[in-house]
Amino acid sequence: MKRIIIFLISLSVIVTIAYPNNNRTLSAKSLSESDRFPHQKDFSDDHPLIQAVIFHELQRTIKYLSLQVYPSPKEWGLHVSGVKNRINTEEPIIALTLDACGSSTGNGFDGQLINFLIDNEIPATLFINERWITANEETFLFLAGIDLFQIENHGTHHKPLSIDGQKAYGINGTNSPSEVLEEVMTNYQKIYQITGKKPRYFRSGTAHYDEVSVSLLDNLGVEVVNFDINGDAGATYTANQVKNSLLQAQPGSIVILHMNQPNSGTAEGVAIAVPQLKDLGFEFVKLEDYELY
């Protein structure tokens, strides 16, 4: 018994060192209540040993899923089976989602857009790529600390999600189930370790998937979220085009925009459209507040 206690204390110390930024509260109660995955548990006590158990559970599940044999995909695109594109409601609500994609041409920060949302108390869900986090860690921490914003997972290398190497817009997708899981879970763990919060939703680079990859993530308890309103076409729209796109929104719409291209028309277009949408009776929400479909 004494050896077991010493081992547990040692493991606790090791995990504390390995995850110094992880200050999410956790509890043993959650482990007995659910066999699902980390972000679906409601934790209330900070205990490194339990964090280690959860991390091991996740790694074990990833390894198991990566070794399975999967059928050949039959679907490829933006709106394949299993992808959530809208909020399940008839209420006049809209969810703005902002992507931060990363790369040498995608590591910018649209402060004008973010400041407009903060100043006007407009909630938004931010899908952030691992490369962008690495290039903008202080800004990421700032955004993660704002209650208006929900931080979610935009992948590790910004790849389309495929089990057999499909392409989107000339970008090579992941090429196997293990690559699918690496693309999703590496950034999942990075966000968790920095913020202490577990991403619930995922959007891939290019927002393209096959249905097998989506099913893989469903087995991890991760929901794949796209959109029904393309707000800025990858930050290529003019302000007027952004405004016109947003004004097409219906009750339950999910809008995709970009927060990593400060020289685009996105911020100006959003600033024009949001007051008009509010005048029409729309409210803005985060994705976590509603069921999606």
The pLDDT assigned to 45 comes to 39
| Closest alpha carbon to 156 in 203, 98, 219 | 203
Give the strand pairing for 209-210 and 76-77.
Answer: antiparallel
Across the chain, which distance is largest between two alpha carbons, in Å? 70
The pLDDT assigned to 49 comes to 61
3-class SS of residue 258:
strand
CA dihedral sign of residues 210, 215, 220, 223: positive
3-class SS of residue 109:
coil
Q: How confident is the model over 1-20, as pLDDT tens digits?
A: 444 444 343 444 333 333 33
Place of tokens 């110094």: 20
Counting Cα atoms < 13 Å in the Cβ hemisphere of 264 gives 28
- CA pair distance 228, 21, nearest whole angstrom: 36
Q: How confident is the model over 166-188, as pLDDT tens digits?
A: 999 999 999 999 999 999 999 99
- CA pair distance 241, 244, nearest whole angstrom: 5
The domain ranges of the chain are: 2-66, 76-289
What's the pLDDT band for 21 if we cut at 50, 70, 90? very low
HEC profile for 97-135?
Answer: EEEECCCCCCCCCCHHHHHHHHHCCCCEEEEECHHHHHH
Place of tokens 């649209």: 110
Class of domain 76-289 as given by CATH: alpha beta
Taking the model in full, what pTM does it have? 0.83
